[in-house]
A and B are shown apart, each in its own frame.
Chain A
Amino acid sequence: MRTDARVEDLLRRLAPQVLGVLVRRHGQFDACEDAVQEALLAAAVGWPEEGIPGNPRGWLITVADRRMTDQLRSEHARRQREDRVAAQVPADSSHAPAPGAEQPPEHDDTLTLLFLCCHPALSPSSQIALTLRAVGGLTTAEIASAFLVPEATMAQRILRAKQRIKATGITFRMPAEPERGDRLRVVLHVLYLIFNEGYSASSGPDLQRGELTHEAIRLTRVVHRLLPDDGEVAGLLALMLLTDARRAARSRPDGALVPLAEQDRGRWNSEAIREGIALVTDALTRTPVGPYQLQAAIAAVHAEAARADDTDWPQIVVLYELLERISPNPVITLNHAVAVAMVRGPRAGLEMLETLDGDERIARHHRLEAVRAHLLEMAGDGAAALSSYRIAARRTTSLPERRYLESRAARLTGDDR
C-alpha cells in the first residue's frame, strides 16, 4: 500500500510523536493507538496522491485526534455519561488545531512509548509486535508478513498486549529512576530480538522479514539520539551496524551461508563499519562497560581485519573473558571457545566446550555440536567431526544452516575416501 518511500519514512518517524501527543491528551493508550494507526493509513493512501501537507505532524494529530474524539463521544453517549466527557476531554481537543498550530513537543515521547510497549508484564512476542506498531509505525499486515504469521494472529497479539496494558494499569510515564536501568535493558533486548529476526532472514527469500534489521537500527538510532550518554544504547547500535555490515557477504546468490572466515571482506559495508567502530570506541572510553559494548567491540575486531588470518584473536579472547565475567551465558562460552581455539589450539577450545555438555540450556542445541565439529575438524579428527556435523545438521531448524552443515559433512566424507 505504501509505495512512496519518502511518505513511508516520514510516517514511521512521526508515528510515535503523534501517539505521544494523543495519549497525553486522552489517556487510553489502546484507543489512541488505534486512532493513530487509522491516521497513518489515511496518510499512506492520501499523501502519495495529494502530496505531503505543509505540517505533516499537525495533519496526523488532527486526523487521529478527530477519530479519538468521535470515539470518546460515542462511547460516552452510549453509556450516558456525558458529564464525564467534559472532565476527560480537554475543551480544545474537539476542534482540529489549525495547520502549524501544533508546536513540536518540548521532549520526545518516543522513549516513554518504548518503555510502555516493552513493559516486562508483556510476553516477548507482544513486546515486539506492539513496539513495531506503536513506535515503529508499521501496519499489522506488515508486521505479520515480517514474522510469517497470518494477519489475524498478529492483530490478536497486538490486541492482547493492549488489553494487558489496560488490565494491569500500566501508565504512560517514564519509569522512575531506580527501575529505569532494568527497564531500558528490556527495551534494548526487544530491539536486539527484532534485529536478529531480520538479520537471520536477510539471506533468505523473505524480503520483508529482512527489512526488520533496518527497522531495529532505525529505532535504536532514535533511542541513541535521546540517550546519547548511555553506553549500552551506543553499544547495541554499534553491534547492529557492525553485524549488518556483513549482510552482502554472508550468503551466496543461491542463499548458501558463507562462514565469517570465508566471507569476501571487500563486500562488507565500510561506512557502517566506520560508524560502528566510532560508536563503540566512544562508548568504551566514556561510559561504564556493558555486554552490548563488548559484543560490539568483538565485532569491531573482526571488522578491522582485512583478511580472516589477520584477526586479532588474543584481543577477542580478552573481550570474551570480560563478557563472561559481566554477563555469563552458554552462548558466550561457546563463542569464547572458538576464540580460545584460534589462540591456543583446537584442543583447548574443545576442553572449554565440555563445560557446556552438562548445561541443559545448550547441551542439545545444534550450535554446540556445530562448534565442536569445526574444532574437531581443526584438530584433524575427521571421523569425530563428521559425526558432530551430522548431529548438528539434524538438530537445527534452519534450512540454510542445515545445508551448510551437511556440506561440511560431505566435504569430510570426500576426504575420507
Chain B
Amino acid sequence: MRYMLLIYQNPASFETLSEEERNAVMGEVGTIMGELTESGEWLGGEGLADPSQTKTVKVRDGVPAVTDGPYLEAKEHLVGYCLLECESVERATDIATRWPDARWWGVEVRPLMDAAGTEM
C-alpha cells in the first residue's frame, strides 16, 4: 500500500528551537530517509517553503482571486510530505512515530487512492 506522510509543524515554534536541536532534527530526518531508501519503501518526498510564501487561489463565479498566505488559518502548517510504499499501515505509522516533528506537532498517515479496482 502507498501512504503519504504529511508533516505538520508550527514554523514559529520551530524557530525557537536551539540550533543544536534543529540540527538534530535534520540529522534524524536524514537517517530515516536513508533507511527508507535502503529498504525500497521510499518513493519520494519534498519539504515546502515557509507558509508565508504561499499563494492561495480561489475561483468564484469564474473570477480568480489570488491572495498571499495559506488556505486555512492555523498555527500548524504542512511543511513537507513523503510518499512511501509499506507492507502495512502499522509499518507506515511506525515510521511516522519516528519522524521528529511528531514529537512537537503531528504527522498524518494517509493512504493513497489507487486507479485499480476489482468488480464486486
Chain A residues in 8 Å Cβ range of B43: 149-150, 153
Interface SS majority for chain B: loop
Q: Pick the residue among B42, B87, B117 that contacts A398 (CB under 8 A).
A: B117
Q: Which residue of B lies closest to A210 (CB)?
A: B116
Using a CB-CB cutoff of 8 Å, which residues 99-116 of chain B contact chain A?
111-116
Q: Is A398 touching B114 in the complex (CB atoms < 8 A)?
A: yes
Q: How many residues of A contact B (CB 8 A)?
A: 41
Q: Is A404 touching B120 in the complex (CB atoms < 8 A)?
A: yes
Q: Is B119 touching A257 in the complex (CB atoms < 8 A)?
A: yes
A56 beta carbon closer than 8 Å to chain B: no
Q: Is A199 touching B118 in the complex (CB atoms < 8 A)?
A: yes
Task: Kindly supply a per-residue 1/0 record for chain A positions 187-225, scoring 1 wherever the CB is within 8 Å of any chain B CB and 0 otherwise.
Answer: 000000000010111011110010000000000000000
Q: Which residue of B lies closest to A246 (CB)?
A: B119
B30 beta carbon closer than 8 Å to chain A: no
A297 beta carbon closer than 8 Å to chain B: no
Provided the pairs A123-B87, A124-B87, A397-B112 are in contact, do residues A160 and B117 lie with their beta carbons within 8 angstroms? no
Q: Pick the residue among B1, B42, B85, B117 that contacts A400 (CB under 8 A).
A: B117
B61 beta carbon closer than 8 Å to chain A: no
Q: Is A257 touching B120 in the complex (CB atoms < 8 A)?
A: yes
Q: Is B114 touching A397 in the complex (CB atoms < 8 A)?
A: yes
Distance from A126 Cβ to chain B, minimum over Cβ atoms (Å): 8
Task: Kindly supply a per-residue 1/0 record for chain A positions 126-138, scoring 1 wherever the CB is within 8 Å of any chain B CB and 0 otherwise.
Answer: 1000000000000
Q: Give the complex CA separation of A125 and B91 in angstroms.
A: 14
Stretch at the interface among B9-17, B21-29, B33-41, B74-82: B33-41
Q: Is B38 touching A370 in the complex (CB atoms < 8 A)?
A: no
Provided the pairs A398-B114, A399-B114 are in contact, do residues A125 and B120 lie with their beta carbons within 8 angstroms? no
Q: Which residue of A lies closest to B40 (CB)?
A: A157
Q: Is A398 touching B116 in the complex (CB atoms < 8 A)?
A: yes
Chain A residues in 8 Å Cβ range of B119: 203, 246, 250-251, 257-260, 263, 404
Provided the pairs A124-B87, A153-B85, A397-B1 are in contact, do residues A203 and B38 lie with their beta carbons within 8 angstroms? no
Q: Give the complex CA separation of A404 and B37 in angstroms.
A: 36
Chain B residues in 8 Å Cβ range of A201: 115-116
Q: Is B40 touching A209 in the complex (CB atoms < 8 A)?
A: no
Chain A residues in 8 Å Cβ range of B1: 397
Q: Is A398 touching B120 in the complex (CB atoms < 8 A)?
A: no
Q: Give the complex CA separation of A157 and B43 in angstroms.
A: 12
Chain B residues in 8 Å Cβ range of A160: 38-40
Chain A residues in 8 Å Cβ range of B112: 397
Chain B residues in 8 Å Cβ range of A149: 43, 85
Q: Is A125 touching B87 in the complex (CB atoms < 8 A)?
A: yes
Distance from A301 Cβ to chain B, minimum over Cβ atoms (Å): 17
Q: Which residue of B lies closest to A257 (CB)?
A: B119
Q: Pick the residue among B2, B40, B116, B120 that contacts A204 (CB under 8 A).
A: B116
Q: Which residue of B lies closest to A155 (CB)?
A: B40
Distance from B101 Cβ to chain A, minimum over Cβ atoms (Å): 23
Distance from B102 Cβ to chain A, minimum over Cβ atoms (Å): 23
Chain B residues in 8 Å Cβ range of A206: 115-116
Task: Kindly supply a per-residue 1/0 record for chain A positions 250-293, scoring 1 wherever the CB is within 8 Å of any chain B CB and 0 otherwise.
Answer: 11000001111001000000000000000000000000000000
Chain B residues in 8 Å Cβ range of A398: 113-114, 116-118
A156 beta carbon closer than 8 Å to chain B: yes
Apart from the given pairs A124-B87, A374-B120, 15 other A-B contacts in the complex at a CB distance below 8 Å:
A149-B43, A156-B39, A200-B118, A204-B115, A204-B116, A250-B119, A251-B119, A258-B119, A260-B119, A371-B120, A397-B114, A398-B113, A398-B116, A400-B117, A404-B117
> Chain A residues in contact with chain B, CB under 8 A?
123-126, 148-150, 153-154, 156-157, 160, 197, 199-201, 203-206, 209, 246, 250-251, 257-260, 263, 367, 370-371, 374, 396-402, 404
> Chain B residues in contact with chain A, CB under 8 A?
1-2, 37-44, 85, 87, 111-120
**Listed A/B pairs (21) with beta-carbon separation below 8 Å:** A124-B87, A125-B87, A153-B41, A153-B85, A154-B40, A156-B40, A157-B40, A160-B39, A197-B116, A201-B115, A201-B116, A203-B119, A250-B119, A259-B119, A260-B119, A370-B120, A398-B114, A398-B116, A399-B113, A399-B114, A401-B120
